[in-house]
Chain A
């Protein structure tokens, strides 16, 4: 997955962190907490991730289908799609890095089944189908229409990876969801409004 880009938090996010830390210092102004002691805490927000050297286990065609499936499952709305955040590349990496060879094979199988079904039912490969038809294809798997229970299980596993990859990406965690890097304290009750999104910042992922 050599070209999945790993970025530091956006400058917007960084500013909000620094604001939080500033607020924290304000709170502690009566103490002997110095700016340097807390502000050094800001340094770690600028990190870079280690890059992986795994070889991609998918063929080019499989990657194209996978990318397209990512787009169908989590499309672009007012926030980026799973394909926009390169979920397909993350999945190719994660399957090799963290999963079993059986699980990788299952994903390959369902990708292949999706393409075969697309060709037999709609006369074209999955990536060439209209997006509405693509949605119908994936719904057919979940409804086991033209697909069997094993297909449905493999797809459910893949879907879990897409969801995980999307909501742990920077855009997924911070734009599609609300992200509190430094919440500033705990409140047991806040009202839900039409704008409320669930928290993208979790203690464990």
Chain B
């Protein structure tokens, strides 16, 4: 029996998986279940399911700042991470320390790099929204000429979406929309009455903009199969970023890692920061990885027949850029020269809100871990606005006011106190989830001189929004405002935040080792295999050709399991 946690292993593995987040977990599960001896390499500490969720279930009164981030934490430890919506005193242990993880940005630009460097990665803290990409998304670059054509289409992904959805558990309605293919889903979460009312209002005034319930990686109703995984139905706490001992949302710990562990084929090396890949020019194969110990900074190497980079878009890209050889002086598998270019994020920089009259006699119970969703309605060129290309989806929801919305209301004494304990007005809000175009100029590179404490060159970002993104957000704010007004909302106000909001904050970094049919302008083929080196794969968001509007993690899962299936077959045929 292999020792599960062993960073000092000298074994030769069939597969090295770099990273343990959403894609790393899936890669490890799929390879080990096929009988391959697999090493999962994680740069951070070990996080064990249930045991290492120290803040789970704790009320705000148990935190000395009531979960707010203190000045000391913000200034000294987490100046970047603390700008993330999910970062607070009760979740900070699942974010990387900015002090240890420096990076730089080109003058006049900014980028927010949110980190999750521990076993499970950002699968523990993700927002869990899960949508399939459609053929409109995968055809977008070809249709309007921005970016290179995806080498895959929906039919290539559909069976793999089903495969991961059934295991992970995706809650959602079967809405039958061409622009948002249905998932193999568990029952949807319920809408509240105001949301149901607005579905009808929007349908009246905007028949091309259906509003559906958000699809999310939660066990809305655990199946006997899920319960046999040690997971039960979502209890609607919506405190997911603290970890969930019910295993009710998909994470590496709750869903993929237990299966990889059960095979006896898995070894995990935590605290192992991958410095670079070891390349053998004679055979044109990657032989292994060079690692610096996270804590004592000593060096070691791991060896395997195949390397899967699942280290997050920027993590994988950094490793590749830092893997230089005579054959690949600009980074491994970078004969195209596009490695690090075409960096994208999503554009979440417009929002709208308003008050909905009525429904005073209704409330809701539980904290629903999803909201409503209006899929992109500008999903093909004939539906584009005249002054910019592509489109946006909208997320949001309806809720009643509480003490937070009433805290500055006038009033002193028992009446004021009482008013804050009653459910307030119904408020409905939406925010933009816009597409960001792939542009060559949006680049991440290695800094020529600055290194981190592991001796690895720091990433240097040169990323900006373009006019297309700005025009899209202005339009979104106007459109959403009009929608709410037509639906009868009062006190409607909108906001555009793109002028003072850096890319990165949607935490959907994509595109820096993109797929493509032509090895001259892409790093990966349609199976996430590098064009240049047969035994090197990248299955995280680096492989994206366009951002689309949908949250990407479900597609990361599908791409990963599809790549493993392909790789295993190629190995059986001795082509790898």
Contact = CB atoms under 8 A, between A and B. Distances in A.
Interface of A: 1, 4, 6-9, 17, 20, 24, 27-28, 30-33, 37-38, 40-41, 44-45, 47-52, 72-75, 77, 90, 93-94, 97-99, 135, 138-139, 142, 156, 159-160, 163-165, 167-170, 173-174, 176-177, 179-192, 196-199, 201-205
Contacts of A181: 57, 59, 237
* 9 nearest CB pairs, A to B: A31-B227, A41-B245, A183-B366, A188-B190, A186-B366, A163-B407, A168-B60, A203-B238, A168-B66
Contact of A187 (B54, B57, B239, B365): B365
A47 B228 contact: no
B402 interface: yes
A6 B64 contact: yes
Interface stretch (B106-114, B347-355, B419-427, B436-444): B419-427
A94 B287 CA distance: 54
Interface in B217-243: 222, 224, 226-228, 230-239
A189 B227 contact: no
Contacts of B70: 97-98
Contact of A32 (B227, B239, B362): B227
A188 B234 contact: no
Nearest to B50: A40
B235 A185 contact: yes
Given A44-B58, A75-B414, A187-B366, 12 more contacts: A1-B64, A24-B233, A31-B224, A138-B412, A167-B403, A168-B60, A180-B367, A188-B195, A189-B362, A198-B400, A199-B367, A205-B67
A192 B403 CA distance: 17
Contact of A176 (B88, B193, B411, B421): B421
Contacts of A165: 66
A28 B227 contact: yes
B198 interface: no
Contact of A28 (B64, B232, B238): B232
Nearest to B403: A167
B410 interface: yes
Contacts of B190: 186-189
24 contacts: A6-B61, A28-B222, A30-B224, A33-B232, A37-B230, A38-B246, A41-B56, A41-B245, A51-B64, A74-B417, A77-B418, A93-B64, A142-B412, A180-B366, A180-B367, A187-B366, A189-B192, A190-B363, A197-B422, A198-B363, A198-B403, A201-B59, A203-B238, A204-B85
Contacts of A186: 189-190, 234, 236, 364-368
Interface size class of B (residues with CB under 8 A): 35 or more
B469 to A, nearest CB: 27
A77 B237 contact: no
Contact of A201 (B234, B245, B367): B367
Interface string B390-415: 00000000001111101110111110
A160 B410 CA distance: 11
A201 B58 CA distance: 10
Nearest to B417: A74
A192 B192 CA distance: 14
B569 interface: no
Contact of A94 (B66, B230, B233, B414): B66
B403 A163 contact: yes
B364 A189 contact: yes
B360 interface: yes
A122 to B, nearest CB: 16
Contacts of A8: 62
Interface in B175-200: 189-193, 195-196
Contacts of B245: 38, 40-41, 44
B65 interface: yes
Contacts of B414: 75, 77
Nearest to A204: B88
B59 A9 contact: yes
A173 B65 contact: no
Nearest to A52: B64
Interface in B296-314: none
Nearest to B400: A198
Interface in B44-75: 50-51, 53-72
A105 to B, nearest CB: 15
B388 interface: no
Interface string B16-35: 00000000000000000000
Interface centre among A138, A163, A164, A177 (most CB of B within 10 A): A163
Contacts of B364: 186-190
B416 interface: yes
A205 B216 CA distance: 23
Nearest to A41: B245
B513 to A, nearest CB: 34
A162 B305 CA distance: 61
A116 to B, nearest CB: 19
Contact of B228 (A9, A31, A170): A31
Contacts of A41: 50, 56-57, 245-246
A55 to B, nearest CB: 14
Contacts of A50: 63-64
Interface centre among A40, A74, A188 (most CB of B within 10 A): A188
B82 to A, nearest CB: 11
A83 to B, nearest CB: 12
Contact of B71 (A20, A97, A139, A159): A97
A197 B246 contact: no
A45 B57 CA distance: 6
Q: Which of B72, B226, B237, B418 has the most CB of A within 10 A?
A: B237
A44 B367 contact: no
Given A184-B366, A189-B362, A205-B68, A163 B230 contact: no
Contact of A72 (B238, B403, B413): B413
B500 interface: no
A36 B49 CA distance: 13
B64 A160 contact: no
Contact of A160 (B58, B63, B362, B407): B407
B76 interface: no
Given A51-B64, A75-B414, A199 B232 contact: no
A174 to B, nearest CB: 8
B232 A24 contact: yes
A169 B61 contact: yes
B227 A196 contact: no
Contacts of A197: 421-422
A78 to B, nearest CB: 10
Nearest to A174: B59
B236 A183 contact: yes
Interface in B348-388: 360-368
Contacts of A75: 413-414, 417
B407 A37 contact: no
B235 A98 contact: no
